[in-house]
A and B are shown apart, each in its own frame.
Chain A
Amino acid sequence: MIKWNQKDLLGLENLSAEQIELILSTAESFKEVSTRGIKKVPALRGKTVVNLFYEPSTRTRVSFEIAAKRLSADVINIATETSSVKKGETLIDTGLSIQALKADVIVVRHNASGAAAMLARHVDISVVNAGDGWHEHPTQALLDIFTLKQKLGSIKGLNVSIVGDIAHSRVARSNIWGLTKLGAKVTVCAPELLIPSEIEKMGVSVTYNIANALEKADAVNVLRMQFERDAGTAFPRQLEYFKNFAVTEERLKKAKKGIIVMHPGPINRGIEISSAVADGTNSVILEQVTNGIAIRMAVLFLISQARRV
């Protein structure tokens, strides 16, 4: 098996299929820890993980915090709203200060694409990208792929459709990199204005028709409409989006039997997905949340190991 040799996890674009598989198989071993009576192993005892989030988050931040704690690391959360960032401190200065405090890992979420990579260039400690602008959200894609793999056995040859605000979605980008590297066929589906030009160069097919996107898919990943970015200007009426693109029970009837429905959360019920589908038998949305812990444990473990190989 290959060795992990990177101090950071910044995205899936620069990882090989083997490196992605290593994270997935390590996560498989870590899944068991969360089923124990005592949900803790001493692997990262004495290490300090800092969550530095410049954007709101429930799932991702809590998931990283739980993952780190189940590995016995100490976790510090910095909410930028109540920190020196408000006084004008730059990301790099904040990062250098965290390094000077002898932390070992910074988990960073930032609204600027490339923020995590820039931070990683300026500090010697590990950096994990928990979402940078429209660019990448690698651990989300890894947990999506992990969930698919657990459900369907292998990624190779699967048809996976990603539906929703592709243009503003770092989840979509990371999923496309990861899935195509592992041999899946990816189709993206959205209103025209929410599909970036030249997305085909990433090796995906494009459709503007939800029925087409669902027809052959083994799995569909439904993305949230990001009205806080500027999906609102591209698509003014939520109801209109629901009518034309939402994943509903009616539409699933014409899809492959047993199609897997994923959503990275948070869900906008009645906008991109109907409640009946979100809570239905095809949905693995809550399993994704559970799997996120194993993936983040694997990532924190591997990058901490890598520093000396």
Chain B
Amino acid sequence: MRNKIREIMDKQSIENALKRIAHEILEHNASSSELAVVGIRTRGEYLAHRLVSIIEKLKGAKLPLGLLDITLYRDDLMIADSQPVVHETKIGFDVSSKHIILVDDVLYTGRTIRAALDAFIDFGRPQSIQLAVLVDRGHRELPIRADYVGKNIPTSQQETVVVTLHEIDKKDQVCVQDKKDML
């Protein structure tokens, strides 16, 4: 019988993926000193923290880090089944003239990223916004793509991708499982 929960990435492969993304970000933005990283809450926040510290080790410079809560920008805010919890947005730097690396855990329909772009533009006019995700699982509903992808995972829409990070979930792992098997 097929295992109901499939592990797609473990601690090591998550770490490797983030290291590769960090290298790609630096390569792609080699001529720019105006880089900043912004994590989409909740799990993008922790991935953004990790990227900043990897880049710090590679480059010796700590990039500005921002946190973005997109709850108030969601297009399903008034129709979603569950009541969303609003978290604080913290952008402690001037975004204009910066190249922004937006970080999230899973890229799926693209609606979260659409909301994040709207939210971010309210803070000013960055030079560019680039998107880094740990997992791209396909099934886009909007014309959005990632610039940096940790792993492409083909999934069906009956499945869900669960990212756990040790900062809040005590374990680094990416799994795919059937929605009907979830509690």
Contacts and interface: CB of A to CB of B under 8 A. Distances in A.
Interface of A: 1, 3-4, 26, 28-33, 36-38, 40-43, 71, 298, 301, 304-306, 308-309
B83 A3 contact: yes
B72 A305 contact: no
Interface of B: 69, 71-73, 77-79, 82-90, 118-119, 122-124
Contacts of B122: 36-38, 40-41
Nearest to A43: B72
Scoring A28, A43, A298, A306 by chain B CB atoms within 10 A of each residue's CB, the highest score goes to A43
Contacts of B124: 37
Contacts of B78: 304-305, 308
A38 B118 CA distance: 12
B83 A29 contact: no
B89 to A, nearest CB: 5
8 contacts: A3-B83, A26-B86, A29-B69, A30-B86, A33-B72, A38-B122, A42-B73, A309-B83
A41 B83 contact: no
Scoring A26, A42, A301 by chain B CB atoms within 10 A of each residue's CB, the highest score goes to A42
Q: Which 7 A-B pairs have the closest CB atoms?
A: A43-B72, A41-B72, A29-B86, A29-B88, A38-B122, A3-B83, A309-B83
Contacts of A37: 122-124
Contact of B123 (A36, A42, A301): A36
Contacts of A32: 88-90
Contact of A305 (B83, B88, B119): B83
A33 B77 CA distance: 18
B86 A4 contact: no
Given A41-B73, A42-B118, A301 B86 contact: yes
A203 to B, nearest CB: 31
Nearest to B91: A36
Given A36-B123, A37-B123, A37-B124, A42 B72 contact: yes
